[in-house]
Structure 1
């Protein structure tokens, strides 16, 4: 099966859209930006902002942790690498999204159950939750410039009418 020009254009455009949401790893891993929050309120604000800001980085980490948990078992590792490639191709190249995704989702669930990799996925999610919590709370948001509108509190921080003036409710 040869890829059409439209399919390749869809894949390229979607890849660029996803890549535009990623943050540089040097910013994500900046050790000098790690500080203790001064209050629980600041910790929750940091966590919410960092999860929003670094969502792509956290997703990549989850995928890598999942693959690392599968490393001792080569068959499930290979199977999920192939499934990941299929997800990437189908997700980014199809317009009839639900029709293409449903069989692949079913196949992924069957693969998780048949290879007992759901335990690995559960372990990866638990490790990732700990990583996201620690990074999100400890990573200062001071150096994250220009992304106030991406923050869950962006409407309170920006230059929108709701941030500086009374707005009728």
Structure 2
């Protein structure tokens, strides 16, 4: 009789993993818009040789002239300046691995609890709305930034990067720059104000 017993199915459903999360419609919409926004932003980057042209450097004669140069150079080289600022932040974080790990964990919390979450969050038998999740994550982020060295590191790196940008922009003579009259570019992170379910719906 043992030979007539049907064998048990051996197919086991695959566990939920990061691959399944990455394959969700919300995740695909998020990364697609992130990629498109970054590509559109980088397409507006000016040649680095033009940014580093030493022949166009001259000391400003007044504070008003320096601020005028900063305004014009920022309008023209804004993508290059943002890349430089991001590079300063990246170097600062790499030089402090502890802060980098804390920031990565914080970013992971935002991604999985707010951006990629397609269903209401339920903890201890209570359902939390998107606004409550956003408020809780914002409060937790502020606490982490102020109680660890991450906040001071980010502020110091930002100030250092802004100082470099302002110094270059004030000494870079903008007479050879031809500014295009274009509409303001929408930042590629502007859609982060809504959870991933809304992003997927819009996409």
- Would you say same fold, with TM above 0.5? yes
* Superposition deviation, residue 83 in structure 1: 5.9
Q: Gaps (5+ residues) in structure 1?
A: 151-169
- Which residue does 2:181 correspond to in 1? 149
The 2-side partners of 1:24 and 1:73 are apart by 31
**CA-to-aligned-CA distance 1:106-132 (integer Å, 9 cap, x gap):** 564344234312111221122123212
CA RMSD of aligned residues (A): 3.7
Note the 1:79-90 alignment, pairs <5 A: 79-80=102-103
**How many pairs align?**
145
TM-score, normalised to structure 1, is 0.62
TM-superposed deviation, 1:27: 2.0
* One of 16, 20, 38 as aligned partner of 1:15: 38
Deviation at 1:139, TM superposition (A): 0.6
* Residue 69 of structure 1 pairs with residue 101 of structure 2: no
Match runs of 1:14-33 below 5 Å = 14-33=37-56
Please tell me whether the aligned partners of residues 67 and 77 of structure 1 are also in contact (alpha carbons under 8 angstroms): no
Report which stretch shifted further, 1-10 or 46-55. Answer: 1-10
Instruction: Compute the displacement of 1:67 (Å).
Output: 3.0
Taking a change above 3 Å as real, the CA distance of residues 32 and 85 of structure 1, as seen in their structure-2 partners, is farther
Which one of 160, 165, 178 corresponds to residue 127 of structure 1? 160
Structure 2: stretches of 5+ with no match in the other structure: 1-20, 117-129, 183-203
Higher CA-based Rg: 2
Match of 2:199 in 1: none
* Distance across 1 between alignment mates of 2:62 and 2:174: 14
